[in-house]
Amino acid sequence: MQANKPYGGVLVKAVRILDYLSQTQSPQSMTNIAVECQLTMSTTNKILDTLEILGFVRKNMGDKTYALGPRLLQLANAAFIQFDLLRESYPILYRLFQKVDATVNMGMLQEKSVLYVNKFTPAVNRHVTQSRIGFREDLYCSAMGKALLAAQEDDYIEGYLENSHLEKRTDYTIIQPEIIRRQIAIARRNGYATDNREAEDNIFCIGTTMGDSQALSRYAFSISIPYDQLTTKRFEALIGELQKAKAVIEYQLTEI
């Protein structure tokens, strides 16, 4: 069987350059980079110009040499944070899942959506939610999404509401910006947000961020149950367990 080939020759060449710069002890000239990466000078020049614009390499204007740029540090830091969160939060969220006997999701803020990065679902679940690991959900109609919005600055929220297409997902989806703003304000006061059948029919969800620090506030988790199982007593119990789990996560991940 023929192995899959990577798509995009220029991208492969750019990665080759980045790999080479990561292995060197000092900034390198364009000539050295072209020779070591087996590229023409013209191709090397174009790729380096693009990588510099994007922040993946930095150019020393004095001797015209190149080194890795700050953008890579940002991406590496984000990758380490996500890895640590997934690893450290796993037992906490799993205990929450066992305690509430309901679907527990973990997601991260990515552009205008929540990217699901972990999920626990009861073996016997008569209503399977559409969410899965790798699934993206809109911010305005999901509990995790509204919790993540509540943790952002007001300018971010206004920009999101002004530039997003708010559409009805169910009969209960709220698409009026002024009502969404009020929901976000309530989420800030309460420390959690709700999704009352707004993203999926017959699904009620409560969500909160992983913590209040800048890094943790870009991650959230939630509990989802069928709406017909919702009672005042169940609601209060779920909020209590959600807040306990958040407190443990914050305590254990204060260094992130």
Q: What is the DSSP code string of 74-139?
A: HHHHHHHHHHHHHHHHHHHHHHHHHHHTSEEEEEEEETTEEEEEEEE--SS-SS--S--TT-EEES
What is the full DSSP assignment across 20-54? HHHH-SS-EEHHHHHHHTT--HHHHHHHHHHHHHH
The pLDDT of residue 250 is 87
The pLDDT of residue 104 is 96
The pLDDT of residue 81 is 64
pLDDT under 50: residue ranges of the chain: 1-3
Q: Which of 45, 47, 46, 54 shows the shortest CA–CA distance to 11?
A: 47
Residue 213 is encoded by which pair of tokens? 């620090």
The pLDDT of residue 1 is 39
For CA atoms 220, 225, 230, 233, the dihedral sign is negative
Domains (range + CATH), the chain: 9-68 (1.10.10.10), 76-252 (3.30.450.40)
The pLDDT of residue 88 is 82
Tokens 């305690």 correspond to: 99
Q: What are the CA-CA distances from residue 61 to residues 27, 34, 67 (Å)?
A: 12, 18, 12
The pLDDT of residue 112 is 87
pTM: 0.69
The pLDDT of residue 80 is 59
Residue 222 is encoded by which pair of tokens? 């939630």
**Phi, psi dihedrals of residue 53, rounded to the nearest 5°:** -60, -40
